């Protein structure tokens, strides 16, 4: 189980960490995934 899966099972912890409910977080996720793929860099800022 990933860290996200563990946190998603704890709504209060997810809200505390992100400021979003699980539904809100899941609604935003596709936009962040698309932006990450478009920027062609890793999360560490290195070229991908």
Residue ranges of the chain whose pLDDT lies below 50: none
Which structural domain range is residue 28 located in?
3-39
- In angstroms, how far is the first alpha carbon of the chain from the final one? 26
Q: Under DSSP, is residue 41 helix (H, G, I), strand (E, B) or coil?
A: strand
Distance CA 46, CA 25 (A): 26
Predicted pLDDT of residue 3 = 87
Q: Is residue 13 part of a domain?
A: yes
Q: Is residue 48 part of a domain?
A: no
Q: Is residue 14 part of a domain?
A: yes
Total domain count, the chain? 1
Asked if residues 25 and 19 have their Cβ atoms less than 8 Å apart, the reply is no
Predicted pLDDT of residue 26 = 94
pTM exceeds 0.85: no
Give a three-class secondary structure readout of 13-31.
HHHHHHCCCHHHHHHHHHH
Q: Under DSSP, is residue 12 helix (H, G, I), strand (E, B) or coil?
A: helix
Predicted pLDDT of residue 47 = 77
Q: Is residue 24 part of a domain?
A: yes
């Amino acid at each position: 189980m990933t860290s996200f899966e563990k946190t998603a099972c704890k709504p209060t912890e997810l809200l505390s960490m992100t400021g979003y409910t699980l539904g809100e977080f899941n609604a935003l996720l596709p936009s962040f995934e698309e932006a990450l793929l478009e920027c062609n860099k890793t999360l560490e800022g290195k070229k991908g």
